[in-house]
Structures are given as structure tokens and as C-alpha cells.
């Protein structure tokens, strides 16, 4: 393994995949918290990006991303013609889920339902981008077949997302485009920071509950980073991963804002569970309605779309009535 040191067609597809949305969400939550807490400071891009094959010596022209997070990164860096296939999950879990002129550019790109070697090889890629959690037997088969494979681990830290985008820009031969993208992302991050400075500090909890028990996003999760990008303090600071939370824990934590996954127009299971529990009637976020529902793809984002999640969260917080948050500076 070689380490590198450089820091409506969519509607039809969406209807097809809604039946598996719950299982995919669970998988994405697991992906967003699996990196173990570091004991030696933040990990670098050397740890995040690795060649599983011999490195390419020239920019690839036929790329295949193996999951939605990698789709987010790749579509931001290269033209549609350089992406020869996309995982079908991206139509629900990446930026391509949004109906826009940008995502429409990828409507004709072939989709594959499962990450298996035969289906990927059928598109004759010269580079496949994978995550460590993609099926290892498939990744090994691709390497054995002579395809260049770049492993990009999802990271819960924004600075690592930035490093990965810069590194991908170099590998793909689009350094200038990557530089422009990173400048735009940094401007958006600074805008979020300025907005946060105009409101009183808020303690937030990113919460998931599908009816079989609740969990909160603590340190080393992407939702922890989203909270911080939005200018919130995480009530679970000091814990790690998606921490199990009882109803008693929720009452003791008493967050100012509750952040959950909820698709527009659909019933949010986590909120329903909380509201149907008599013991939680005194929970202030339920009484005041200080609940932010992030689209599932943003709640589980592992790419630069984490910043978009933070922007949606910040806008929702700024839209709360003053009476819901108490005195604060606008």
C-alpha cells in the first residue's frame, strides 16, 4: 500500500431508493464516527489518502467514485466527462440529490447499484476512489485487475477534508480548480464564523433515534464538526463517537438546540420518539421548538458538504424567534 504525502431521471432514481433509505442512513452514521480518537494530535492527509495500487503517473481520464462522499468531492473537481460511473446511492446521499442545473449535468452518467468488481470494471475506469469501508474484497479484485485504486478515508475534521480536496486536485491534474474551490469554501467558513459571533453561544446536540435507542454525536464525528462550524458548542464534548443516550441523559444535558435528521415533508422518527415520551415533556427544546431538521444527506455528510450542513443549521438557528432562545444579539 503506497502512502502519498501531498497534502425527470433523478426523480425516478430517488423513488427507487427510498425503500432502503433507513439502512443507508445507519451505514452513513457509522461511517461518520468510526475514526478512533487521536492520541497524538490531528491526523494528516498522509493518513487519510493512500494508494492501494501503484500510483498513477498522469491525471486519470475515467474515474469512478465508490460512495456518495467521494461523489461530492469528485463532481466539485472534474467535468462530467471524466466520471464514467456513479454509485446509485449518490442520487439520495450526495449533492446530486438536489435538483439543480449543476446536478443535472450528471443525469446521463451511468449508475451502479452495488460496489462489486464486475460492475465497476464494466465502465473501464483508470482510477477508482474508495473508502476503507467499501467492500475490501472488491477493492482487492480491482487492484489485482490492474486498475489504479485510491483510498480516501472519511474524516470528521474539516481541515482534513480541505487537505484531501487539495490532494485530489493534484492527482486529478486540476490544481487551479481545487484552489478556487478551497478559496470559496474558506470564504463560506469565515462567513459562518462571523454569523456565530453575533449570537450568544449555544449548546447543541446532534441526536439520532430510530425507535430502538438514542445516540448523540460526540467528539470525532462529522456532526460534531458541523456543530462547531455553525458556531455551536457540543453538549457531548469529551465523549467520543456516537454515544448512547438515555432519556435521563437528555434531561440532564438540557441542550439549547436539538439537531436531528429529517427529510422535508416526512415524519422525523427521532422527534416523534421524543414527543411521545411523557418523561420528556419538560425538555425545553421540545417545549420551545428549538429543533433543527437537517436533510439526511447533510446529517451524514462526510465531504465538503459538511459546510453546507453547518450553513443550514446556522440559518435555522438565526430564524428562531427571540423568545425561543432568550436574549441574544442579532
Which domains does the chain possess?
Answer: 2-173 (3.40.50.1980), 199-325 (3.40.50.1980)
The CA distance from 151 to 149, in Å, is: 6
Rounded mean pLDDT of 3-22?
Answer: 41
**pLDDT tier at 321 (50, 70, 90 boundaries)?**
confident
pLDDT at 17 over 60: no
Sorted by sequence, the CB contacts under 8 Å of residue 237 that are 6+ apart come out as 218, 219
Using one digit for the tens of pLDDT, what is the confidence trace for 20-77?
A: 344 444 444 444 444 433 333 334 444 689 999 999 999 999 999 999 999 999 999 9
pLDDT attached to residue 322: 63
Q: Which of 25, 86, 6 is nearest to 268 (CA)?
A: 25
The CA distance from 299 to 306, in Å, is: 8
Using one digit for the tens of pLDDT, what is the confidence trace for 125-145?
A: 999 999 999 999 999 999 999
Asked if 302 contacts 222 with a C-beta cutoff of 8 angstroms, the reply is yes
Using one digit for the tens of pLDDT, what is the confidence trace for 193-204?
A: 999 999 988 999
Indicate the burial class of 232 (C-beta count within 10 angstroms; 0-12, 13-18, 19 or more): buried
Task: Provide φ and ψ at 211, rounded to 5°.
Answer: 105, -10
Amino acid at each position: 500500500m503506497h502512502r502519498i504525502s501531498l497534502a425527470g431521471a433523478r426523480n425516478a432514481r430517488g423513488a427507487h431508493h427510498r425503500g432502503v433509505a433507513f439502512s443507508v442512513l445507519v451505514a452513513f452514521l457509522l461511517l461518520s464516527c468510526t475514526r478512533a480518537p487521536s492520541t497524538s494530535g490531528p491526523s494528516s492527509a498522509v493518513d487519510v489518502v493512500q494508494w492501494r495500487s501503484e500510483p498513477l503517473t498522469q491525471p486519470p481520464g475515467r474515474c469512478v467514485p465508490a460512495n456518495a462522499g467521494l461523489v461530492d468531492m469528485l463532481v466539485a473537481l472534474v467535468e462530467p466527462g471524466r466520471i464514467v460511473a456513479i454509485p446509485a446511492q449518490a442520487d439520495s446521499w450526495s449533492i446530486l440529490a438536489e435538483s439543480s442545473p449543476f446536478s443535472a449535468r450528471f443525469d446521463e452518467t451511468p449508475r451502479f447499484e452495488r460496489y462489486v468488481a464486475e460492475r465497476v470494471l464494466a465502465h473501464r475506469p483508470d482510477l477508482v476512489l474508495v473508502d476503507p469501508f467499501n467492500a475490501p474484497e472488491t477493492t482487492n479484485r480491482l487492484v489485482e485487475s490492474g486498475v489504479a485504486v485510491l483510498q480516501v478515508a472519511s474524516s470528521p475534521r474539516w481541515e482534513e477534508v480541505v487537505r484531501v480536496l487539495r490532494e485530489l486536485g493534484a492527482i486529478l491534474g486540476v490544481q487551479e480548480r481545487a484552489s478556487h474551490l478551497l478559496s470559496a469554501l474558506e470564504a463560506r467558513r469565515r462567513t459562518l464564523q462571523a454569523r456565530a459571533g453575533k449570537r450568544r453561544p449555544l449548546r447543541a446536540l446532534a441526536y439520532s433515534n430510530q425507535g430502538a435507542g438514542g445516540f448523540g454525536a460526540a467528539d470525532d464525528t462529522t456532526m460534531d464538526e458541523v456543530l462547531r462550524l455553525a458556531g455551536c458548542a457540543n453538549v457531548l464534548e469529551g465523549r467520543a463517537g456516537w454515544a448512547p443516550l438515555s432519556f435521563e441523559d437528555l434531561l440532564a444535558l438540557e441542550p439549547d438546540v436539538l439537531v436531528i435528521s429529517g427529510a422535508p415533508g416526512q415524519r422525523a422518527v427521532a422527534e416523534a420518539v421524543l414527543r411521545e415520551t411523557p418523561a420528556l415533556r419538560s425538555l425545553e427544546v421540545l417545549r420551545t421548538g428549538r429543533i433543527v431538521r437537517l436533510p439526511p444527506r447533510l446529517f451524514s455528510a462526510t465531504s465538503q458538504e459538511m459546510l453546507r450542513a453547518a450553513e443550514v443549521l446556522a440559518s435555522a438557528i438565526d430564524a428562531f424567534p427571540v423568545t425561543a432562545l432568550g436574549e441574544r444579539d442579532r
